[in-house]
Each structure stands twice: as structure tokens, then as C-alpha cells.
Amino acid sequence: MHNTSPNSQHRPLELWGGLECTVNRVRDEYFSQLDRNGHALRACDIGRFASLGIRAIRYPVLWERTAPDGLDKADWSWPDERLPALRDAGVTPIAGLIHHGSGPRDTSLMDPAFPERLAEYAGAVAARYPWLEYYTPVNEPCTTARFAGLYGVWYPHARDDRSFIQALLVQCRAVVLCMRAIRKVNPNAKLVQTDDLGKTYSTPELAHVAEFYNERRWLAWDLLCGMMGPEHKLWKYLLGTGIDAAEFLWFRDNPCPPDVIGVNYYVTSERWLDHRPERYPQHHRGVADGVPCADIEASRALATPTPGIGPLLGEVWERYRLPIAVTEAHIDANREDQLRWLLEIWEAAQTARQVGVDVRAVTVWSLLGSFDWNSLVTQNRGYYEPGPFDVRSKMPRPTALAAMMRELGSGRTPSHPVLRGQGWWRRPGRFLCTPIATPAAITSISADGHRLVGTGAAPILITGATGTPGRAFARICQKRSLHYKLLSRMEMDIADPASVERALAHHKPWAVINTSGYVRVDDAEGEVERCMRDNTVGAATLAEACARHGVHLTTFSSDLVFDGSKGSPYVESDPVTPLNVYGRSKAESETAVLAAHPGALVVRTSAFFGPWDRHNFVKLALDALERGERFAAANDMTVSPTYVPDLVHTCLDLAIDRECGVWHLNNVGSVTWYELARMAAEKAGIDAAKLVAQTASEIGMAAARPAYSVLHSERAILLPRLENALERFIELRGVDDPEYEELVKTAESRQPVASGHRQQEETPAEAVAGSF
């Protein structure tokens, strides 16, 4: 990590890392991110962090965790182990003492004694680790004050302007006193002061509210820089809270300007206020300054996207003329958009440096992801946003973000092909309302980071143009701005080496997703040669060619590679013992694919259903029951159903991560086919009186099938619960999807009758049983 001298801005932009470590309090319950992400018990993460090429890390030495019962009972064992390990690994810690927290149980952000008590702790940290140079005593004081004192989200759950400003003053005074205590031990200690850097835009009718919000965002930094007094634009507002002027003027007499201003920037940081709330979804409606209005992310409303963080960095520089670091850069999105977001911010920082803004670093947040921030960490729902590492595996699994960080940290240009697409915040489908004409004040600022997918972008090749899975992949690639080509068998016959070679040479893909193959489980018993050709020979041929061209391959297998005798969920390492020809074709294809291409991803899945095809089991069951018709379903086979959109999104993320080997991907839960139909009917509000339970043989399933083929994963649980998937399926049931219908028409028009091989057609779910 470089120093903060003026000439240091001529050094390369640095890459930093951040660890989500919030310990927020909601009434009497604490929500600890370190416990959720496992880092509290996993010292080996230090090596993972260092491998990313970061120069510094925002790292917790939290008051609530270290000394919740006072300094005399402090337990220093955790930071004693971790801080020296970071230093030895060449990563500079930026010590965080409070991260969206309110301290031990006997204090709060409204407690007048809070600053002195935190300062006492800060002094103890400095005394124990005198070599520590960088500190963030309180993370995001203005934002935390809003959540805890104005919105009532966090403890102490106040909802008024006085409480908001009181919480802000308490935290900022704590920062001043903490740095004073720290500098008694280490006079060279430096303050990295973070807060959310947003901006609010509005209709003219709410311009006064937007102006107020845009001044309020500076309050913490203004206080610390000693810029608070009667000349401040919000002086009347501040005194209007009833707090004595001396409380504010104290900071003028005791300035503690940051050595680095840390700006945290999210896609939600820029807001749009509109006095016409009826134009927007209900949960975006509210009241501002007594005016009914809508408050929504600017990216979801404005026809022309804002330029992003670049101009905001310029605003910070013009106001303070202090070194700047982007201290949190993160987005909750699919993997390619996480990559695009980071690159956009990195390039904006580089551009700002070129025009004289002293930007020192960009911090990737959060290295281990984060939990339940979609509810502002007020509920324990298990909602997880991965980062450079995904902690849903036994040990944190590096994602494509980790590879991109290593490129940035070593000065290389990020190379992933998906970076050629546009992030969702710039795509046409981002709107939650009728798009609003973007104010001229925004459009007059030039924007960077617009990446259209063009002909020069390497595509993803998707086989199986006439099948439901292939169309689903094409549809979602289109939504995610991933350049793809959906190929029919005529365009690439995967079992024909010459055909495969021609397609790879022509399209030059970076990845292939193979959804083609033989899917008729019962017919396979009488068409052994054809089944083996399409499923085994074809997959192996494709794998050999992809390996030769350095192309990532994703291909699919089935739960039918197992015989069901285990009686408990199957994991990836369980031996395969298929009962039927189809299962044998998939088992042999797994072995052949991974032998030819060890970097391939082989996905075992089961009983898939989705909103876009006519013949999946759940749709057939609901349609029949809704018409009052009898519907028979097997009650002697237990499976783990898989919602196609969840499967496709996860497979794309894993392909972008260049994951390999066998993965089990299915929604969490196990049911018989009969139970699945009944569950779906209950959730859809459809009478299931005509639902009939039968055995597989009574239904007419000729091929032997395992009675129990439930899949579980020892690698990671990446898909949500079955109940959640069914609810989302039912929400989309019956909704017209012109884009998908167009894909179907296009695929059918490109698929002539082929000589020698009968084409796969859509077939009833009872026959296919959700197979690839």
C-alpha cells in the first residue's frame, strides 16, 4: 500500500480487498457477517486473500467481538493470529473497529459515552499492534446514522431527524477521539474514512428534496474536515433538530480530516425522486418533505443511464482535495455483471486520475460475499451474494472475480470474454416503470463503460436448438447480454468430428454448452445404438474438440446414473450404477468427457421443469387438473426437481468461473412425482381431486428407474429450495413470452428433416422424465 504524499498519485492504481464484517443489531439480536461467511473460524482465508494480488484489505478488529464485556475481559486471540498473518503475506490491514455496529450491548449510537469508550478500545488496539498504520474506526457513519436514527432499521430504531444527527455526531466524535488515541501510540497512523457516495436526481417538483439529500451525503466528511459552521448549507437544518450549535462547532475546533476519503458505491447509490408515485411499483412509493413521491434506483427509471461513479469522484475531489479510494465496489448480480461492474469502476477511477483526481485504489467488496443485505441485514433468510470467493462450498471457491482481480493486481488487462457485454444497469430491460427522460444535467456528462456486444465478441455456442434446455440457455444469455449462438444439429452434429471442428473454427467460441442428446428414456431400451451415439459418442467428440481448442465445455448428465439402492441423497463422489440404457449412456459420457477434457463441467440434474415449454411435468399436471381432467403421477419414485431458470443461471455462472468436474445442481427438496404435482396444485390454488397416484409400471414406464434418485451436492448448494422455485414458476405460468416464442420459431425454421437421424421432438414429461 502506498503512502499519502502528493506525488504518490503518479503510482499505479492499487487493488484493495474488503471483508464484509457487519455486526449490526436489530432490537436484541445481532447479525454477524463473520459468523455467516465462516471467516471467524477460518484463518486459512488469509492466504486466499493474498493470492488475489491486493495491496491492502479492510479488515475487522471489531469492538463488539473483541471486548464486548470491557477491555479487562478482551480476547485478542483472533486479531493476534490474523493481523500478523496479513502483514507477513504482504497485505496491509486497514483496521475497522465498528462496521455498521452499535458497540457492546450496554451502549448505542445515541450514548454520549460511546465516543470515549470506543476511543479507549482504539487506544488498546494501537498499543497491542503499534505497527498498524491505517484505520477506519467507524464505517459509513452517515449511512449508519440514517439506518439507525432516521429509518429505524437498526438499533436503537429511531425515526426522526434529531436522532439521525445525534447518531452521526456520536460516531464522528468517536472517529476524532479514536484517531487521537491511536496517534498517541503511532503518530503516523492514517484515517481512511468511508461512507456511501450517492447522488439523487429528481423531477423539478422535488428538486429541493434532491438538493437536500445531495448536501446531506457529505455530512460526516464535512464534520471531520472542520467544515461545519453557520456558512454550511445545512446549518439551519442541523440547528432545527434542537441540538446545541456547540456540538457541531466542536468539530471545527477539533478537525480530523481523513488521510484517504473512502467512497462506497453501489448501483443503488444513485436515486431518482418523482412526484408522481403512481408511475412506480408500490414498494418504491413514500413521502419526502410532505410530498408523496417515488424513490427508486436511477438505473431502474432513467431512459439514459447516469455516467456512474466517474463524475462523483470528481465531486469528492473538488470538495475536499484529499486522496480518494473506492472502498467498496460490489453488485448483487450474475457473474458477468459482477465482472462488468468492477471493470467499469476501475476504468472510471483510471479516467479520473487522468484529469487530476487523486484516486489511490479500488476495493473489491466483499471477498467472501455477503448475507441478507437485500433486507438490510434485518432478517436471517440466507440470501447470499457471492464475491471473489463463494463460501457455499466446503471451502471458499474462487469465482471469475478472483481471476479478474489477479489480472488487475498485476497490471494486466481483464480478459474474460463476457466483459464485452453491457451490465444490466445499462441494458434496455432494466426498467421497473415507464422510462423517464433523463434530465439534461445528467446526459450532458459523458459516460464511459458502455460495452455493446458486437461481432468481435467470442460467443458461447449452445447445442440443441430444438430442445427446451437449449432455448432456455439462449433466452437467458440474451437477457444477460452474453453473446451466444444457438446451433441445430445441421449446424453442428456433436457426434461428427468434422462437423464439430468446422463449427468451432467458424464461431471461435470461448465456451460450449451442450444441451443436445437423446432424451427418451423408455425408447432408449430399443434404440441403444442411437442413444449411445447421441449421448456418449457425441459428448466425448465435443469434449475432445473443445480441449484441443482451449474452449470451456458444459455438458449434462442425469440422476439416472444411480440405481437408488443407497436410499439417501446421492453426492458427486458416489459410484454410478445405472439401471437403464439412458442412464448407462450418461454414465459413460461423464467418464469420456472428463478423460478427454478435464476442464469440462459435467452437470447432473433431475426432473426439470420451467415456464417456457409446453411439455414439462408440472405444466402438464396443472393444466390437466385445471381443466378438471384426471392426471396420473408416479408415487414410487422420489426425485429432486430442478427449475430450469435456476439451473441455467447457475450453469452460466459456473461456466464463467470456468468450473470443472461433476456438479449436482437441483433445487433443494425431494418429492415423488405425485407429491410434486400435488404441491404445485396447492401453490397454484388448483383443485387436485383428479390427481391419481400410480406406480411407474402402471403409468407405462418401460425402462427400469431408481425408486430413489435424489441428488445432493458435496461441492456447494447453489440453487434455492423447491418450494421457492414452484412459487416463481406459478407466477410466470400463463404469461406470454414473445421473445421465447420467437426463439422457438427461429429454431424450428432452421431445423430441416435430417437424413439418417430422426430429430428429437418435444415429448410428454412422463416419457422424458426431465432428462437432458
Residue by residue, DSSP assigns 132-198 as: --EEEEEE-HHHHHIIIIIS--STT---SHHHHHHHHHHHHHHHHHHHHHHHHH-TT-EEEEEEE--
SS3 698: helix
Residue 367 pLDDT more than 90?
A: yes
Cβ within 8 Å of residue 332, ≥6 positions away: 373, 374, 385
Q: What is the pLDDT of residues 124-157, one digit of tens each?
A: 999 999 999 999 999 999 999 999 999 999 999 9
Looking at residue 613, its pLDDT comes to 83
Looking at residue 771, its pLDDT comes to 62
Cβ within 8 Å of residue 156, ≥6 positions away: 102, 108, 109, 110, 148, 149, 163
The H or E element that residue 97 is part of is strand 92-99
**173 and 60 assigned to the same domain:** yes
In a domain, 562, yes or no: yes
Grade residue 442 by pLDDT with cuts at 50, 70 and 90.
confident
Looking at residue 275, its pLDDT comes to 96
In a domain, 586, yes or no: yes
Residue 674 pLDDT more than 50?
A: yes
Grade residue 376 by pLDDT with cuts at 50, 70 and 90.
very high
Looking at residue 765, its pLDDT comes to 46
In a domain, 553, yes or no: yes
**Does residue 432 or residue 442 have the better pLDDT?**
432
Looking at residue 225, its pLDDT comes to 98
Share of the chain above pLDDT 70, in %: 92
**492 and 433 assigned to the same domain:** no
Residue 751 pLDDT more than 50?
A: no
What's the domain count of the chain?
Answer: 2
Q: What is the pLDDT of residues 84-97, one digit of tens each?
A: 999 999 999 999 99
Q: What is the pLDDT of residues 31-57, one digit of tens each?
A: 999 999 999 999 999 999 999 999 999
**413 and 527 assigned to the same domain:** no
* CB of 405 closer than 8 Å to CB of 52: yes
Q: What CATH number did the domain enclosing 655 receive?
A: 3.40.50.720
Grade residue 331 by pLDDT with cuts at 50, 70 and 90.
very high
Q: What CATH number did the domain enclosing 46 receive?
A: 3.20.20.80
What is the domain extent for residue 537? 460-613+641-670+708-721+736-768
**559 and 655 assigned to the same domain:** yes
In a domain, 716, yes or no: yes
Cis preceding-peptide flag for 366 (omega within 30 of 0): yes
Least confident of 409-423, 431-445, 630-644: 431-445
Cβ within 8 Å of residue 214, ≥6 positions away: 199, 200
**Angle between helical axes of 335-354 and 644-656 (0-180°, round to 10):** 50
Residue 669 pLDDT more than 70?
A: yes
Q: What is the pLDDT of residues 246-299, one digit of tens each?
A: 999 999 999 999 999 999 999 999 999 999 999 999 999 999 989 999 999 999
Q: Name the DSSP letter for residue 703.
A: S
Cell of 746: 427461429
| Catalytic (active site) residue 129 | no
Q: What is the pLDDT of residues 558-616, one digit of tens each?
A: 999 999 999 899 999 999 999 999 999 999 999 999 999 999 999 999 999 999 888 88
SS3 760: coil
Q: Which of 201, 384, 570, 582 is catalytic?
A: 582
Residue 483 pLDDT more than 90?
A: yes
What's this model's pTM, rounded to 2 decimal places? 0.91
**545 and 660 assigned to the same domain:** yes
In a domain, 369, yes or no: yes
Among the candidates 412, 443, 474, a domain finishes at 443
Among the candidates 443, 474, 494, a domain finishes at 443
Residue 757 pLDDT more than 70?
A: no
Looking at residue 448, its pLDDT comes to 45
Looking at residue 452, its pLDDT comes to 53
Q: What is the pLDDT of residues 640-657, one digit of tens each?
A: 999 999 999 999 999 999
In a domain, 4, yes or no: no
Looking at residue 234, its pLDDT comes to 98
